[in-house]
Amino acid sequence: MKRPFRLWLWVTAAVVVADFGGLCWFLYARWREHSQDAVIRLAAARYGVDGALVKAVVWRESWFDPSARGKAGEIGLMQIRAPAAHEWAEAERIAGFHHEHILDPGSNTLAGTWYLAKLLRRYPHCDDPVSYALADYNAGRAHVLRWNTGAATTNSQHFLAQMTFPGTRRYIEEIARRREKYQEEFLR
């Protein structure tokens, strides 16, 4: 009779531990997802970019990890490479700037949002400038120019269909979905 009771006890303990672990992970993920809200709001307001879009880019690029580093030299929340960082610093007249300064969450988000605003201004004639800007942010201008021909010059559906990088298409779609999720919190 003791065996079924011990088994039940072990199963119950395992379920409680798993539930506790799941709760801890949920709380950590929720905290992390909101850990950079202040710098995101500040940067979005400063450069006139939708805060939900900026937050979605931060989510996709670094999952809110300010010390994230990419394979091609990208660093920080928005995975900024040295040329874009220096371009931002020059535009903002920041003396003595070094790429490593972008590891600061505030500077990184400002630089990334400035760069995103610049890219959004490149595509005012398009039906969805965000898709074009995100493709530019992810794959680079040369690739966008290659995909941006014919009907794709103004129609984002044609533009997405002409992309030869499935990863960039997924990048844009993931950010669009996540942006929708964040819209409500930026309307407050």
Contact 132, 153 (CB under 8 A): no
- How does 13-50 read in b/e, with b if 16+ C-beta sit within 10 Å? eeeeeeeeeeeeeeeeeeeebeebbebbbebbeebebb
Q: pLDDT at residue 60 above 90?
A: yes
> Model pTM?
0.85
User: What is the rounded distance in angstroms from the CA atom of residue 25 to the CA atom of residue 147?
Assistant: 40
Residue pLDDT, tens place only, 98-142:
999 999 999 999 999 999 999 999 999 999 999 999 999 999 999
Active site residue: 61, 173, 180, 185, which one? Answer: 61
| Fold adopted by 36-187 | Lysozyme (1.10.530)
User: What is the rounded distance in angstroms from the CA atom of residue 23 to the CA atom of residue 20?
Assistant: 5
- Work out the number of other CB atoms within 10 angstroms of the CB of residue 118: 17
User: What is the token pair recorded at 143?
Assistant: 């690739």
- In this predicted structure, what is the pLDDT of residue 9? 64
Catalytic residue list contains 90: no
User: What is the rounded distance in angstroms from the CA atom of residue 2 to the CA atom of residue 75?
Assistant: 58
